[in-house]
Amino acid sequence: MIVSEVAGTTRDSIDVRFEKDGRVFVAIDTAGVRKKSKLADSIEFYAFTRAQASIERADVTLLLLDSTKNTSHVEKRLAAHLVEACKPVVIVVNKWDLAKGHTSTEEYGEYLTKTLPNLDYAPVAFVSAIDDRNVTSAVDVASSLFKQYHHRVGTGAMNQALAAVMAERGPSVKRGLRLPRIYYATQVATNPPTIVLFVNDAGAFRQDYLRFLVNRFRSLLPFEEIPIRLVLRARRSTDKTPPSR
């Protein structure tokens, strides 16, 4: 492959097959996108579009950042698309050899929380590609996210977690609407983990409370570092609380 430090040299995504610890991986090497404030150039637009298509194909994504530069508008847009697509992501901070002495991993982690708050759950890997430092560790983290992404929690354990969250903080009432109630929860899918809450009125729940629920589910269930899809469903009279399992 032709490579260069100049972003935009590669314009197509390339699949690279490799093996590690007896397992076969396919890395989708996406085209670099120049860090412009606006994606007005047609080449940049299509590079960004191809990156989005690669995200849809991937099981786990790695958002590659340059430790010597500020987080760009383009990287924030990619982060937003990762959240919207519900894809697990490892934030990979490259050129860490150049940043050492200027900042610490803790300080840089706080910076990422401020600039990419919608990915505050994503693990961060500090690597130096030129020295091959921690690169394989980033692959190991990606493998861990893949397992979380395909994990299924039984209904009994799910509702124990829900009861713990509700005991900590229940939903508040929206003006003009009835008191929101959650009857029970169940995981209906993996990839991403999808949790359905059976409620009295799906429109009665505030968005800040739904974010709180998702964050607490991450803490209490084996989904600590991945996105969770939360679905509210109004319970019909024929619905019954499922047995614990």
Instruction: State the residue range of the domain holding 212.
Output: 155-234
Query: What does the alpha-carbon distance between residue 226 and residue 22 come to, in Å, rounded to a whole number?
Result: 25
pLDDT of residue 200: 93
Dmax over CA atoms of the chain, in Å, equals 63
Regions of the chain where pLDDT drops below 50: 37, 39, 243-245
Q: Is residue 243 part of a domain?
A: no
Q: Is residue 60 part of a domain?
A: yes
- 100, two tokens: 């050492």
Closest by CA position to 26, among listed 63, 67, 54, 65: 54
- Write down the H helix ranges in the chain: 42-57, 73-85, 96-99, 105-115, 135-149, 155-168, 207-220
* CA–CA–CA angle 164, 167, 171 (5° rounding): 110
Pair 32, 145 in one domain: yes
pLDDT of residue 243: 47
pLDDT of residue 99: 87
Looking at residue 228, which CATH number applies to its domain?
A: 3.30.300.20
Pair 139, 161 in one domain: no
Give the number of domains in the chain.
2
- Last residue in a domain, options 110, 125, 149: 149
Pair 114, 23 in one domain: yes
Pair 160, 101 in one domain: no
The 89-94 sheet, strands edge to edge: 61-66, 89-94, 124-126
pLDDT of residue 39: 47
Pair 164, 110 in one domain: no
Q: State the CB neighbour count (10 A cutoff) for residue 37.
A: 8
Q: Which helix or strand (DSSP H or E) is residue 231 part of? A: strand 229-234
- Last residue in a domain, options 149, 165, 182: 149
pLDDT digits (tens, 9 = 90+) for 174-184: 777 788 999 99
pLDDT of residue 177: 74
Query: What does the alpha-carbon distance between residue 34 and residue 72 come to, in Å, rounded to a whole number?
Result: 9
Q: Is residue 70 part of a domain?
A: yes
33: left (phi over 0), alpha (psi -120 to 50) or beta: beta
